[in-house]
Amino acid sequence: MYQYIDEYLNFLAIEKGLSLNTLEAYSRDINRYSEFMESKGITNVKNIMSDDIISYLGTLRKSGLTANSVNRALAALRGFNKYLIRESIIEENPIANIELAKVWMRLPDTLSKDEINHLLEQPDLKAHLGIRDKAMLELLYATGIRVTELISLTVNSINWHVGYLIVVGKGSKERIVPIGKPAIDCLTRYLQEGRKKLMKGKRSHVLFVNRSGHGLTRQGFWKIVKKYATKGGLLKKIHPHTFRHSFATHLLDGGADLRSVQVMLGHSDIATTQIYTHISRERLKDIHRKYHPRG
């Protein structure tokens, strides 16, 4: 079984071009599955039946995993078994009729436009780090990119003439996202003033650097965000996707179409983007309850 797992992971890496993080997640899920089957005395993938897989998924739930985590494990197994059929290793898919666990959809947390503006006003533009922080926050809100994508940007990621960003997202897929004048202005000032001082004569293609001239980490960036949230007195919990969720929600509230938002966020499936339409509906309900005499 492990031979087929290695071949499948190589297939995902070479032919599908999946990222290292995604490959590691698939590897963990499928190897955990194979270990479970071995504990039941099943070492040949041809001998795995639907009942065995249901038993495995039940074990995952009993171990305390959420429905989302179980569904992710199931998705990994779906792909693995499709590969086995494609390679004529098995004839029937034992997972074909197994349904996803029910997941209660939790709407993502967002900041209002006023809260975003207040947060963006917190960096001290008299300091080099403040100029950098302002540019990062403005760019994050202007584009909706992921934090990992933000800290991976290079100086060449920006097209200054047209005003857009070239982003390398999940699976090493490139997408183009418009930036907007406020973010462009902040980036220009950062490159002219803040970055030069932080680099101290060093050379690097990384766009956003720390006081030592090296690239930022996710943890380092979020310490910066939390610092400004505390400074601005924001009571809402800030997490890695807060700016991304706010970006998408504010676009849809302003009349943007779902397909355009999907492209800018880099979602491969529009169903992932549709969660933001639920946020808008919830907001409409709140407005109706607040302002209608029979609300």
Catalytic residues: 146, 170, 241, 244, 267, 276
Calpha distance 289→284 (Å, rounded): 9
Backbone dihedral region of 17: left (phi > 0), alpha (psi from -120 to 50 degrees) or beta?
left
Give the angle 36-38-40 at the CA atoms, nearest 5°. 75
Mapped onto helix, strand or coil, the DSSP state of residue 282 is: helix
Whose tokens are 């001290």? That residue is 124
Cβ 276 vs Cβ 249: under 8 Å: yes
Cβ 163 vs Cβ 184: under 8 Å: yes
Please report, for residues 109, 237, 278, the alpha-carbon distance to residue 106 in angstroms, rounded to integers and kept in the order given: 9, 15, 10
Percent helix / strand / coil, the chain, rounded to 5: 60, 5, 35
